[in-house]
Amino acid sequence: MENPFKYDSVEALREERAVRIVDQRLFPCHEEFLLLYNEEDVYDAIRKLKVRGAPAIGVCAAYGIWASVANLSSGSGLASEFDRIAGRIASSRPTAVNLGWAVERMNRCFRSALDLYGEDREMVCDALFEEADAIKREDIAMCEAIGRNGLSLFTRKGMGVLTHCNAGHFAVSRYGTALAPVYMAQSAGLEPRLFSDETRPLHQGSRITMKELMMAGVDATLLCDSMVASLMTKGEIDMVFVGCDRIAANGDTANKIGTCGVALIAHHFGIPVYVLGPSSTIDRCTPTGKDIVIEQRDPSEVTELYFSERMAPSGAKVYNPAFDVTPAEFITGIITEKGIFHYPYNFLEND
């Protein structure tokens, strides 16, 4: 698949021993690139949503571990420092399973490299870089495979697709999960029509999804989250494509807050809902959505962030979960690089 974008959301600069990200907080008006050199830089970038999207977070964490180890002072004990670095990065956000998955993969690589090379830091760092780079290459390949599987759902020209939050190019290494089939449909001349929820309170849909859809030349329309039902009553939506931060073993899916509401409304209107993500997002150790830890974020994101003045009285109590969980029975299909899975789901059996 031809890349319609001029840069990736996460890239490694090997000579500089740094991770380069684009600061997604500043979209759509500004494109500012940041260099991350150590675990505090990486923790801050992930925690403050400078880099976001479960796969992109995983890639950033992997490269971040490499860069942090590569930039250690020569007197540091390698094994203890690695554990400290990995632990700090892993603690940055609790919900996206790709973060813990990538950190654990880097941990296994480090232990193997330590057995092979001992305290030879250069050789250990080379092994860490290659592993992190492999995670990114695999993520790109997975997005392409997800795109091909999702493309099969575009059965005619001009189909209307609703998406929530951003599960596109900027949320992964390249192309996207939920939006990869859209870009393939666009390339195939199927002229998809995309509708993007603004996705309160952080506006990922308006700031990021709309930006990349317009960059790729896709017919895209922005709507407030509260307009979904109105749009569906008009027959404009043929299917819903969303990403995922964690999929439980029974198919319950955590995604950006508001996704559950979209799925329930779509179910009422008989519109299919598809969750798209890499198989690494499936957490077989989490039985159901009730077991998923939901991150609570700073109230200021609701009351004042992105506003010129406060939009709530000072001292107002705020409920601001980053995610909600969509029950599996309201998800028509879960699309990974391995194919399209249909309800009822049992990922302990279906590998």
Active site residues: 245
Question: Which residues does 30 contact at the CB level (< 8 Å), separation at least 6?
Answer: 23
The answer to whether the beta carbons of residues 182 and 157 sit under 8 Å apart is no
Contact 67, 17 (CB under 8 A): yes
Nearest-CA neighbor of 9 among 34, 29, 30? 34
The answer to whether the CB of 13 falls within 8 A of the CB of 33 is no
Beta-strand ranges (E) seen in the chain are 10-13, 18-22, 33-36, 160-163, 193-197, 219-223, 239-242, 246-248, 253-256, 273-276, 282-283, 323-326, 333-336, 339-342
37: tokens are 């050199």
Q: How far is the C-alpha of 113 from the C-alpha of 120, rounded, in Å?
A: 9
55-73 in b/e form (b: 16+ CB < 10 A) is bbbbbbbbbbbbbbbbebe
Question: Residue 222: how many CB atoms within 10 A of its CB?
Answer: 16
Phi, psi of 336 (to 5 degrees): -120, -175
C-alpha dihedral over 253, 52, 276, 180, to 10 degrees? 170
